[in-house]
A and B are shown apart, each in its own frame.
Chain A
Amino acid sequence: MFQTLISSVTVGAGGSTSMTFTSIPQTYTDLTLAVCARSLGGGANATLYLEFNADVSVFYNGRSFFGTGASVFSGTDTSLVQINLGRHSGSSSTANTFGSTNVLIPNYTGSANKTMSFDSVSENNASDAFQWFGAGRFPKTTAVTSLRLFDNGGGFAQHSTAYLYGTLKGSGGATVS
Chain B
Amino acid sequence: MPSSITALANVTLGSAVNSVTFSSISSAYRDLILVVTGGSNSYSNFEYRFNGSSSGYTWVGMEANGSTTAAASNTSTALDGNYNYWVEDIGTSDTVYEMQLLDYSATDKHKMAIYKVRAAATGVAYYTGRWANTAAVTQVVVSRAGGSTWRTGSTFALYGVSA
Q: Is residue A10 contacting chain B, with contact meaning CB distance below 8 A?
A: no
Interface bits B114-140 vs A (CB < 8 Å: 1, else 0)? 001011111111100000000000000
Interface residue stretch chosen among A49-57, A59-67, A142-150: A59-67
Q: Is residue B15 contacting chain A, with contact meaning CB distance below 8 A?
A: no
**Contact sample, A vs B, 17 pairs, CB 8 Å cutoff:** A2-B7, A65-B64, A72-B62, A74-B123, A75-B67, A106-B96, A107-B94, A133-B124, A134-B118, A135-B96, A169-B10, A169-B155, A169-B157, A174-B24, A174-B25, A176-B22, A176-B158
* A residues in contact (CB < 8 Å) with B: 1-3, 29-30, 60-65, 72-76, 104, 106-107, 112-113, 115-117, 133-137, 139, 168-177
Contact A63 B122, CB 8 Å, known A115-B94, A117-B116:
yes
Of B8, B69, B116, the contact of A74 (CB 8 Å cutoff): B69
User: How many residue pairs, one in A and one in B, have C-beta atoms under 8 Å apart?
Assistant: 146
**Are A173 and B96 touching (Cβ within 8 A)?**
no
The answer for the CA separation of A104 and B118 in the assembled complex, in Å, is 11
Q: Is residue B5 contacting chain A, with contact meaning CB distance below 8 A?
A: yes
Looking at A3, A73, A112, A173, the one whose CB has the most chain B CB atoms below 10 A away is A173
